[in-house]
Amino acid sequence: MSNRQWWERAQKVLPGGVNSPVRSFKSVPGDPLFFRKAAGSHFTDEDGKNYIDWCLSWGPLILGHADPDVLAAALEAMNEGASFGAPSRREVLLAEAFLARMPHFEQVRFVSSGTEAVMSAIRLARGATGRDLILKFTGCYHGHADHLLVAAGSGLATFSTPDSAGVPAGFTESTAVLPLDDVEKLEAFFAEHGDQLAALIIEPFPANAGLLIQREEFLRACRDLTAKHGALLIFDEVITGFRVGAGGAAPVLGITPDMGTYGKIIGGGFPVGAYAASNRIMANISPLGPVYQAGTLSGNPVAMAAGLATLEKTGQPGFYEELERKGAKLEAGLMKAAADQGIAASVVRQGSLFWTVFQDEAPRAVEAVDGSKMEIYGRLHRDLIERGVYLAPSGWEVGFISAAHTDRDIETTIEAVATTWKSWS
């Protein structure tokens, strides 16, 4: 069966043909591809066409598809039983490996997705502080829990209306939203509401509305103001954890949060999320404390094994330096292609995260992104599919580089982009 045939069948039985909306190619021309198998930096669709994959399941696959060591670890675990619903050793091993890499935390709780990690961390922050109010930033995505589905908001601290139908307005009443990169508004918010705030949550390198790298001054203000007002600082590291460096964002930025949320890489391609904090904060979570949180498949041994194998490999000396080298090569090549073809584009990059935006300056807030240019991305996406290069199917999404991408993959991609841009003029 072809991509086309699967797509027709899928739309009959799955709403919109998908199980997660951005997969449906609503933001780019053409129909979604159906993937059959993958290895390393490549995957193959149901038409038998092969692509270099720069989306990589949206970030988990930092070692590339079907990494042999991750697969072997998962299979070994699976042979011993796929789920126990009782304590098992791999949960302890992954927790120890995690905390060794994140020494600013003392305990970690595993869940099954990033959404669940953030939702639980917010509940814990509220329970631990005895306060209700949380603060997030426009353009930061923290999963699809009801009270986090707010992003709209201009002017000072909008107490937002939900972004999604089906979320009662009351559910988002205690979620305040501010623009990124605006220290003045942040200070004004804390002056008025700081003492009611349970937590400020931010992606330390916001990577869900393009890649909006923040000024150090802004992140420093987030740290200082929360500390001053007795609120908790949560880094949502579902993307950046084990991506921007071995220890996530904190050591890169020199800013330590009170809590962190994880997902994607920590499960090595299997469904895992996690949240972490000090012993003092974690003492509030059940069974130790009054904040309830549970999960039938939490700490699943197969997923723990895959996560453990992934952390082990990313912990090898030079691992992140090599990703940085590849990132720099890709960035330089794409920037040169843009300059050569007279395309107004910037490549924004943090290590192995990259984003191509069709404007001259890298934006630091969603408000500074020219949404009308997303159409150009759509054309690029479609033309690159023809040339065997797969980017995320939306101009608002970042790209991911893995250890499996070769120099040849990078060169082929740069060439494909350059040829595409040349064909436009």
Ligand X SMILES: *Cc1c(COP(=O)(O)O)cnc(C)c1O
Q: State yes or no: residue 111 binds ligand X (CB under 6 A).
A: no
Q: Which of 51, 136, 141, 377 is catalytic?
A: 141
Output the DSSP codes for 179-246.
-TT-HHHHHHHHHHHGGGEEEEEE-SS--SSS--PPPHHHHHHHHHHHHHHTPEEEEE-TTTTTTSST
Which window, 86-94, 112-120, 300-308, 392-400, contacts ligand X (CB under 6 A)? Answer: 112-120
DSSP strand pairing (197-202 vs 42-45): unpaired
Which window, 153-161, 235-243, 333-341, 399-407, contacts ligand X (CB under 6 A)? Answer: 235-243
Q: Which of 114, 139, 153, 327: binder of ligand X (CB under 6 A)?
A: 114
- Tell me whether residue 153 or residue 267 sits nearer to ligand X (CB atom): 267
Q: Which of 104, 103, 76 is nearest to 90 (CA)?
A: 76
Which window, 7-15, 111-119, 175-183, 221-229, contacts ligand X (CB under 6 A)? Answer: 111-119
Lookup: tokens for 170: 């009351």
Q: How far is the CB of 115 from ligand X (least distance, A)?
A: 3
Q: State yes or no: residue 60 binds ligand X (CB under 6 A).
A: no
- Using CA atoms, how far apart are residues 192 and 195, in angstroms rounded to an integer? 8
Q: State yes or no: residue 244 binds ligand X (CB under 6 A).
A: no
Q: How far is the CB of 63 from ligand X (least distance, A)?
A: 18
- Tell me whether residue 141 or residue 242 sits nearer to ligand X (CB atom): 141
Q: How far is the CB of 73 from ligand X (least distance, A)?
A: 20
Q: Which of 53, 258, 264, 377 is catalytic?
A: 264
- Using CA atoms, how far apart are residues 28 and 50, in angstroms rounded to an integer? 19
Cis peptide bond prior to 15, omega within 30° of 0: no
Q: How far is the CB of 279 from ligand X (least distance, A)?
A: 24
Q: State yes or no: residue 203 binds ligand X (CB under 6 A).
A: yes
Q: State yes or no: residue 118 binds ligand X (CB under 6 A).
A: yes
- Residues that bind ligand X (rule: CB under 6 A) add up to a total of 13
- 329 in catalytic set: no
Which window, 21-29, 141-149, 150-158, 164-172, contacts ligand X (CB under 6 A)? Answer: 141-149
- Tell me whether residue 143 or residue 399 sits nearer to ligand X (CB atom): 143
Q: Which of 25, 98, 141, 400: binder of ligand X (CB under 6 A)?
A: 141
Within 377-396, the residues that bind ligand X by CB under 6 A are none
The percent helix, strand, coil of the chain (3-state, each to 5) is 45, 15, 40
Angle formed by the axes of helices 89-101 and 301-314, to 10°?
A: 30
Tell me how far CA of residue 217 lies from CA of 116, 186, 191, 195, 258, in angstroms.
Answer: 30, 12, 18, 22, 18
Q: How far is the CB of 257 from ligand X (least distance, A)?
A: 13
Q: State yes or no: residue 413 binds ligand X (CB under 6 A).
A: no
- Token pair 């003045």 is found at 184
Q: How far is the CB of 194 from ligand X (least distance, A)?
A: 24
Q: State yes or no: residue 397 binds ligand X (CB under 6 A).
A: no
- Collect all residues with Cβ–Cβ distance below 8 Å to 258 and sequence separation of at least 6: 199, 226, 232, 233, 234, 277, 278, 281
Within 158-177, the residues that bind ligand X by CB under 6 A are none
Chain-centroid distance, C-alpha 200 = 18
Beta strands in 130-178 (DSSP E): 133-137, 158-159, 175-178
Q: How many CB atoms lie within 10 A of CB 288?
A: 11
- 326 in catalytic set: no
Q: State yes or no: residue 236 binds ligand X (CB under 6 A).
A: yes
Q: Which of 236, 258, 383, 409 is catalytic?
A: 236
Which window, 7-15, 231-239, 314-322, 374-382, contacts ligand X (CB under 6 A)? Answer: 231-239
Q: Which of 40, 64, 143, 269: binder of ligand X (CB under 6 A)?
A: 143
Give buried/exposed letters for 250-274 (b at 16+ CB in 10 A, else e).
bbbbebebbbbbbbbbbbbbbbbbb
Q: List own/partner pairs for 249-253 with CB under 8 A and 24 or more apart.
A: 249/204, 249/205, 250/102, 250/104, 250/204, 253/204, 253/216, 253/219
Q: How far is the CB of 118 from ligand X (least distance, A)?
A: 5
CA atoms within 13 A on the CB side of 91: 19
Backbone angles phi, psi at 250, to 5 degrees: -55, -55
Residue number of the CB atom closest to ligand X = 114
- 141 in catalytic set: yes
Task: Name residue 391's amino acid.
Answer: L
Q: How far is the CB of 235 from ligand X (least distance, A)?
A: 9
Q: Which of 38, 197, 200, 239: binder of ligand X (CB under 6 A)?
A: 239
Which strand (E) or helix (H) includes residue 347? strand 346-350
Q: What residues are annotated to the active site?
A: 141, 236, 264
Name the residues that contact ligand X, by CB under 6 A: 113-115, 118, 141-143, 203, 208, 236, 238-239, 263
